[in-house]
Structure 1
């Protein structure tokens, strides 16, 4: 649950709380998009919080294409 109004810049304690929650969720295996939904922020804003927290982001994943024959 967020302790701030949406659409405002996070500063101080609210930013630290959001940063830690985002890092915890992401390291548990959640995607950036699902973390963003859970903390009520945008994808880009959540990505920035994760980078500020020092989290190493995972690759995008997906199937590798086979070489054309």
Structure 2
């Protein structure tokens, strides 16, 4: 993770947030997406974003997948080979 992403995640983590169970209004959701999308496109993982914002993985994933212009990355990780 590069320094730009790390600083962005730290900035997100310091912002005051509503409780996890608080439903976001459309305006709050758009503002949240405006903060999160640039970090995701720069390389931050969904898990990193969910931890920094105190929101669930599913919420962040759904937000990114429904935001216009955002293409979700593949899962990553190594490909397993069968042992012979």
TM-score under structure 1 normalisation? Answer: 0.82
TM-score under structure 2 normalisation? Answer: 0.69
Q: Which residue of 2 aligns with 1:61?
A: 76
Give the alignment partner of residue 53 of structure 2, picking from 27, 34, 39.
39
Q: CA deviation at 1:12?
A: 2.4
Aligned length: 69
What is the CA–CA distance in structure 2 between the aligned matches of 1:65 and 1:6, rounded to whole Å? 36
Q: Which runs of 5+ in 1 are unaligned?
A: none
What is the CA–CA distance in structure 1 between the aligned matches of 2:17 and 2:27, rounded to whole Å? 10
Q: Which runs of 5+ in 2 are unaligned?
A: 1-14
Contact 1:36–1:46, Cα closer than 8 Å, also in 2: yes
Contact 1:32–1:47, Cα closer than 8 Å, also in 2: yes
Q: CA deviation at 1:6?
A: 2.6
Q: Which runs of at least 4 in structure 1 moved beyond 6 Å after TM superposition?
A: none
Contact 1:19–1:49, Cα closer than 8 Å, also in 2: yes
